[in-house]
Chains A and B, each alone.
Chain A
């Protein structure tokens, strides 16, 4: 009996401890409410402290028209939550999903900034020694990398940004992709570039569409800048073009792929020689969706654009005819197909695909083995925008990184020259073209001319919605099975819809 009593007493006390702890949880949130109120005065102090940063912002607000027309307008650089910790003040925290931007910053930022940058070295996975930016102006640079797949990056970034007002550890900068850029431009989480002291003069050489895509539909202000424009081209294998089409001249090859009918004829010729026209089912996806008339989601409703149906129809037709190798995009076999001696004739890639996929996957042996031509239609794919987070505690550094990486003409030219990337600076691109710059990887081809033709035609207006990533991933996954002949179109479409429903919840009517 005594034992039972002890056990009971123990269990009860545990319950009490448990209930105290649960109560603690509630308490802390109400406490932080109270503390945020009491801290409003200290927040005001911190505003005064950051007057140095504000002075640059003021100069820009003076000449920006929005500020004059709207007296209620809040300067986004002046919004502050809880004061940040010293550790946070000494760290530039950048959220991103891969190392593309980091490698650009590591390589080019120290050369073109006026701030004091300290660099160090690290070894990449091949054991090659590379330089990286360690500190800017004495502040440590910290990269928070989360994969884009399945919306992981979005979820992590959302959590960090939502916590920003009450956090002492501030996010300073984040990157966003076209598939969900709208969420952050409209979400009032990114600084307006005018409040960072970036003027219309700084951005005058940028492609207008890169500014439009980062413009908030709520207040009409630009929230982010991109260092790249993303026109797409068709890249074909030189050897196979010579063998099958008789010429590897871009103009001649273009004739063979000028529209989808010709594309199909060429595919048939490739098949006769034992080659495949394309590697994965998803390779042409963006070529079609660049020309949609409505985004995936409008006013909370799902629409499947006729262009997507066309992609499904053609891809199924070509798969059954044996033109597509049937690999999975981004997987190792797909990357191997980009080697010069693979059996695949062509790949559709946007500007960033040239350095990051084709050049890196084909390696040194691929040099001069691939060339570009415009392909059946002009198209683009995505793009990456850099945003300063509201309430950053390193405003001057964030501004400087954005200015150097996206507005500096010499930096842009340098990136295009050494990295094969198509940078977002029309004047820079033009100068390079006039100076007779050609791509070494593309066997001395002047690909910039082709790309800039396409870049002028890009418009993201009415083509993007914040849910695109989930729709695209789901659609490609579900339709893959239909293409392989393992399920019917109706069943694949139904699977796409049920899966999407789970991923976006009731926010989208499906």
Chain B
């Protein structure tokens, strides 16, 4: 049989293959394993080490893995556990960082793309705004720790806000719940507003300039152009920013961990869910995996809600049908 045309499709698959192979090994397989382990009672005794050479008598196994069913899930949601609290902490700290981040980014993106404003030295400003994102989050967190802890460089400046300490003098603002959460939120804002600005600028520049010109001719005010033209048209990118930021926020770890010296203090109110995983991972693998699965499910749900909430393609379809 004679072929009608040459198929190039197989080359597509061949070029795609490396990614999928790596993905399967380093992401999909561990993911499946995490789900599997979350149903196991998987304990590692950190106070002893396996008798690998078989010489000592009566040595006990360090690692025990048995089927546990849903016991890990009931354990992590039991009343004396801190998981729900940590989840709330994570959401609060994310919101503290995200609201100023999206507000500042929208404002900056609108200014930089405004046809009438014509800001000079844009390249310089964009670089400066983006720079914090280049620094490692852990480095910034460490810097803030050094600045804000008791007797740190900015302690005398911020201390009075935190009030008197029992030890005399002031508390560090990191000793206060709002202080620790606020600092985490601020660091996240500082690190990510530049990145978001660049994304939103790209979205705004994708809008047909003719629309803005038409609005100008019709006498629309800048705020009207912003709310009626810019906002509706950058909604897909906004939803993308929201979802990625939310998933990133749920995985918040390095900043709060370094800022609170791994303790999640004050009163465990700056503990995030990933810190919960990190605390457990070396001894209580089963429950650590269960926490991972919970985060996975929550991320998935939040992701779907935002995607459907922001997506207006269904409305369009309805309209088309009417036509």
Contact = CB atoms under 8 A, between A and B. Distances in A.
Interface of A: 6, 10, 14, 17-18, 21-22, 25, 74, 76, 79, 149-151, 154-155, 158, 161-162, 164-165, 180, 182-184, 186-189, 216, 218-219, 297, 319-320, 322, 324-328, 331-333, 336-337, 390-391, 465-467, 470, 477-478, 480-481, 483-487, 491, 495, 498-499, 502-508
Most B C-beta atoms less than 10 A away, residue of A17, A74, A161, A486: A486
A98 B209 CA distance: 60
B81 A498 contact: yes
Contacts of B149: 327-328, 331-333
Contacts of A17: 20-21, 24
With most chain A CB atoms within 10 A of its CB, the pick from B176, B262, B267, B282 is B282
A327 B51 contact: no
Contacts of A483: 166-167
A135 to B, nearest CB: 29
A507 B50 contact: no
Contacts, number: 177
B279 interface: yes
Given A161-B52, A507-B43, A328 B150 contact: yes
Interface string B258-295: 00011101111000000010011011100100000000
B151 A506 contact: no
Given A22-B29, A151-B46, A333-B151, 6 more contacts: A21-B25, A218-B59, A325-B167, A504-B47, A505-B280, A508-B47
Contacts of B25: 21
A17 B25 CA distance: 10
Nearest to A316: B166
B245 interface: no
Interface string B86-126: 00000000000000000000000000000000000000000
Contact of B151 (A162, A336, A498): A336
A76 B55 contact: yes
Interface of B: 9, 13, 16, 20-21, 24-25, 28-29, 32, 43-53, 55-59, 80-82, 145-146, 149-152, 155, 165-169, 171, 175-176, 261-263, 265-268, 276, 279-280, 282-284, 287
Contacts of A188: 49, 51-53, 55-56, 59
Contacts of A484: 165-167, 171, 175
Nearest to B152: A333
26 contacts: A17-B24, A18-B28, A149-B262, A161-B49, A183-B47, A186-B48, A186-B56, A189-B52, A216-B56, A319-B166, A320-B166, A322-B167, A326-B165, A326-B167, A327-B149, A333-B150, A391-B53, A466-B46, A466-B47, A478-B263, A486-B171, A487-B266, A498-B81, A499-B279, A502-B280, A504-B283
Nearest to A14: B20
A507 B47 contact: yes
A18 B29 contact: yes
A183 B49 contact: yes
Contacts of A149: 262
Contacts of B262: 149-150, 477
A158 B53 contact: no
Nearest to A324: B167
B291 to A, nearest CB: 10
Contacts of B49: 158, 161-162, 183-184, 187-189
A507 B51 contact: no
Contacts of B155: 333
Nearest to A25: B29
B46 A164 contact: no
Contact of A487 (B146, B267, B280): B267
Contacts of B265: 477-478, 480-481
Given A319-B167, A327-B151, A505 B46 contact: yes
Nearest to B25: A21
Contacts of B46: 151, 154-155, 183, 466-467, 470, 503-505, 507
A413 to B, nearest CB: 35
Given A486-B171, A507-B43, A507-B46, A79 B55 contact: yes
A470 B46 CA distance: 10
Contacts of A165: 52-53
Question: By DSSP majority rule, is chain A's interface helix, strand, loop, or mixed?
Answer: helix
Nearest to A74: B55
A87 B9 CA distance: 46
Which of A25, A161, A186 counts the most B-chain CB atoms under 10 A from its CB? Answer: A186
Nearest to A271: B168
A297 B47 contact: yes
Contacts of B53: 74, 76, 79, 165, 188-189, 390-391
A150 B261 CA distance: 10
Contacts of A485: 165-166
Contact of B261 (A158, A328, A391, A491): A328
Contacts of B82: 498
Nearest to A20: B24
Contacts of A465: 47
A297 B45 CA distance: 13
B166 A18 contact: no
Given A18-B28, A336-B151, A505 B166 contact: no
B268 A495 contact: yes
A319 B43 CA distance: 39
Contacts of A390: 53
Contacts of A495: 267-268
Contacts of A10: 13, 16
A336 B287 CA distance: 41
A76 to B, nearest CB: 7
Contact of A503 (B21, B151, B166, B279): B279
B307 to A, nearest CB: 22
Contact of B168 (A151, A322, A336): A322
Contacts of A189: 49, 52-53
Contacts of B168: 322, 326
A29 to B, nearest CB: 14
B280 A6 contact: no
Which 8 pairs, one residue from A and one from B, show the smallest C-beta to C-beta distance?
A333-B151, A326-B167, A505-B283, A466-B47, A485-B166, A187-B49, A505-B284, A507-B45
Nearest to A161: B49
A79 B81 CA distance: 45
Contacts of B45: 505, 507
Contacts of A327: 149-151
A485 B166 CA distance: 6
Given A161-B49, A495-B267, A151 B282 contact: yes
Contacts of B282: 151, 155, 503
B75 to A, nearest CB: 10
A506 B43 contact: yes
A277 B306 CA distance: 56
A271 to B, nearest CB: 9
A26 to B, nearest CB: 12
Contact of B51 (A158, A187, A320, A466): A187
A6 B56 contact: no
Given A333-B151, A470-B46, A506 B166 contact: no
